[in-house]
């Protein structure tokens, strides 16, 4: 009996060994499957409800597109035009009775008279120039000859005007108005002061040379030095009643000498300086 139980136990052990291996494999597979599957199923996200389309009534679009025009005010009543008051017609006055026009009395025809012959207007008598004295005429001739002696030098400066700016004291020879205009560039010509008879521009000549030339040219005239003026010497040139004052002024740049001929002594006031007599009669 013990042997039978032992045999039976051995059978079960052998059967269990035969079943253990397949079951072990099945168990391993099931565990792998279980490990790969999620423990808890993911919760399904709630679906958001789609927004409902807003209904737009066509009647609401009209105010947005164009506002309705404001109601026009009622027209004000037009006042009726005033009635013109027609005045009652007045009776026209009767026309005046026509007055007969007077008959004109015939006038006698005037007899034409001879017009007077126009008399020729007397022609003005030409003023006879006062004859120059012999000394005055001689002085004028000598001055012309002296300028002729300087003709070659004068040709170098012809057309340039007097270089007033080269005078040591131009205001003592020329008017202040003309100097101001020349300095402003309004003119190139300056106006000498009253009493200046002539201004000669002797280029490249010294005052002593010109004095010698003048004394040799003015034969019979005396040369007396007086008070200097304008930056140069002054000489009284006299013969009889004819008097001139020759002013020899050296240019500032020392390239020329100006010969100023005065009819009076420039160093004396105008009312005290004697004026030369053109006719040879001494002036008191």
Instruction: Count the domains in the chain.
Output: 1
On whether residue 4 sits in a domain, the answer given is no
Structure tokens at 45: 């996200």
On whether residue 81 sits in a domain, the answer given is no
On whether residue 112 sits in a domain, the answer given is no
On whether residue 150 sits in a domain, the answer given is yes
Task: Name the pTM for this structure.
Answer: 0.50
- Classify residue 257 by burial, with Cβ atoms within 10 Å: 0-12, 13-18, 19+: buried
End-to-end CA distance of the chain: 210
On whether residue 209 sits in a domain, the answer given is yes
Cα–Cα distance between 265 and 172 in angstroms, integer? 13
pLDDT string in tens for the chain (284-residue length): 567 777 878 887 777 677 667 777 778 888 878 777 665 555 555 566 565 555 544 444 344 445 455 555 555 555 555 454 455 555 555 555 555 555 555 565 555 454 555 555 555 555 566 777 887 887 888 888 887 777 644 444 444 578 999 999 999 999 999 999 999 988 778 999 999 999 999 989 999 999 999 999 998 999 999 999 999 999 999 999 999 999 999 999 999 999 999 999 999 987 665 655 443 433 33
pLDDT at 249: 98
263, 264, 270, 274 alpha-carbon torsion, rounded to 10°: -110
Cα–Cα distance between 241 and 135 in angstroms, integer? 8
pLDDT at 117: 52
Domain residue limits at 140: 134-262
| CA-derived radius of gyration, the chain | 72
Question: Do residues 201 and 163 touch, judged by C-beta distance below 8 A?
Answer: yes
On whether residue 253 sits in a domain, the answer given is yes
On whether residue 82 sits in a domain, the answer given is no
Nearest to 249 by CA among 261, 259, 263: 259
On whether residue 72 sits in a domain, the answer given is no
């Amino acid at each position: 009996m013990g042997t039978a139980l032992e045999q039976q136990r051995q059978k079960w052990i052998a059967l269990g060994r035969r079943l253990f291996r397949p079951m072990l494999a099945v168990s391993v597979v099931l565990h792998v499957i279980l490990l790969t599957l999620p423990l808890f199923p993911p919760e399904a996200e709630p679906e958001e409800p789609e927004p409902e389309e807003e209904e737009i009534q066509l009647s609401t679009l009209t105010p947005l597109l164009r506002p309705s025009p404001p109601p026009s005010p009622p027209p004000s009543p037009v006042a009726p035009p005033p009635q013109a008051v027609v005045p009652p017609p007045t009776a026209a006055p009767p026309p005046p009775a026509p007055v007969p026009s007077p008959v004109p009395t015939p006038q006698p025809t005037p007899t034409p008279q001879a017009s007077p012959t126009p008399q020729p207007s007397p022609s003005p008598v030409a003023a006879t120039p006062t004859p120059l004295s012999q000394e005055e005429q001689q002085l004028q001739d000598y001055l012309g000859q002296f300028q002729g002696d300087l003709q070659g030098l004068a040709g170098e400066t012809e057309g340039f005007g007097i270089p007033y700016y080269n005078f040591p004291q131009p205001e003592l020879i020329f008017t202040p108005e003309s100097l101001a205009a020349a300095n402003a560039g309004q003119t190139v010509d300056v106006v000498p002061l009253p009493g200046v008879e002539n201004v000669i521009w002797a280029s490249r000549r010294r005052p002593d040379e010109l004095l010698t030339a003048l004394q040799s040219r003015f034969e019979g005239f005396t040369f007396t030095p007086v008070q200097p003026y304008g930056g140069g010497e002054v000489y009284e040139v006299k013969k009889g009643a004819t008097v001139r004052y020759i002013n020899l002024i050296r240019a500032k740049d020392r390239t020329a000498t100006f010969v100023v001929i005065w009819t009076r002594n420039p160093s004396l006031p105008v009312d005290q300086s004697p004026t030369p007599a053109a006719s040879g009669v001494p002036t008191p």
